[in-house]
Amino acid sequence: MNRVALVTGASRGIGRAVAVELAREGWAVCVNYLEHREAAESLVRQLRDSGHMAIAVGADVADRQAVEAMVQAVKAELGPVDLLVNNAGISRQGLFQDTDDETWDRTLAVNLTGARNTAKAVLPHMLSEKRGCIINISSIWGLRGASCEVAYACSKAAIIGFTRSLALELAPSGIRVNCVAPGCIETDMVRALGEETRAMLVEETPLGRLGTPEDIAHAVAFLASERAAFLTGQVLTADGGFIV
C-alpha cells in the first residue's frame, strides 16, 4: 500500500523541495499548484523519471470545494492521504493602513483557511484509520511579527495556534500535527525584497546564510517520519538562529 503525501503549493520553492524529499523517503506525492501548472507537471515528470509515484493537481486551497475534489482525485490515483503538508501561502508587502480588504481577506483565506480546508478534507480517512500526520508551514514572522507584513504575520501566527489546538484534539486518534517555522529562505518571496534587504537578512542570521528550501524539506521529512512518532503540537523553528 502506498504512503500518500499531499503537499500544497508544491510547484516551486519550499513546497517543491518538500515534495522531492518526501518522494525520496518513499512517499507517493501529490504536487498541488494554483497558477504554475507547467512547473508542477515538470516536477512530476522528474519524480516519475526517478522511479517515484507522483501526480499534479491544481486547486485553490482557499476554495473548499476545490480542495475536496483534489483530495478525491488523489485518492483515486494514489490512495487516501496519510500525510498533509500545508505549505501554500502568499505574502504582500505594504503598510498596515494601506492594506485593503481584498489583500487582507485573500492572505488569510490562503494561508489560514487553506490549511483548515485541506485538513478537513483529509481527516475522515485519518480518523477512520486512527493514524496520520499533518505538518503546517508557518514562519518566524508568525512568532515575532513583521513590519509591513501584518496580514502575513497574523496568518502565520494563527497557523501556530491551529497546529497546537488541532494536535490536542487529534492526539487521542493517533494523528500527529506539527509545524515548521522557516526563517529567511532563499525563495522567490525573499528575492523579491531586493538584494540590499537580502544581504541584511544574511547578516542578521547567526549562521551567516539564508536557508535553502531543502533545509525546510529535511525538517518536514523528519516530522513526517517514525523518528518523530512522539512529537505532536510542536513548532520546529528552522531559521539559522535568527530569533534565538
Catalytic residues: 152
What residue segments make up the domains of the chain, in order of their start?
Answer: 4-182+214-237
E strands in 43-131: 54-58, 83-86
Write the CATH number of the domain with boundaries 4-182+214-237: 3.40.50.720
**In the chain, what percentage of residues exceed pLDDT 70?**
100
Record the pTM: 0.96
Of 148 and 191, the structure prediction assigns the larger pLDDT to 148
Separation CA 29–CA 128 (nearest Å): 21
Residue 134 Cα distances to 7, 106, 233, angstroms = 10, 23, 10
The pLDDT of residue 238 is above 80: yes
pLDDT of residue 22: 98
86-129 per-position pLDDT tens digit:
999 999 999 999 999 999 999 999 999 999 999 999 999 999 99
Is residue 1 pLDDT above 90, yes or no?
no
Q: Which three cell numbers stand for residue 207?
A: 549562521
Beta strand ranges found along the chain (DSSP E): 4-7, 28-33, 54-58, 83-86, 132-137, 175-182, 235-238
Residue 190's Cβ-side half-sphere holds a number of Cα atoms within 13 Å equal to: 21
Binned at pLDDT 50, 70 and 90, residue 76 comes out as very high
Between CA 68 and CA 74 the distance in angstroms is 10
Compute the mean pLDDT over every residue in the chain, rounded to the nearest whole number.
Answer: 96
Q: Is the dihedral of CA 209, 211, 215, 220 positive or negative?
A: positive
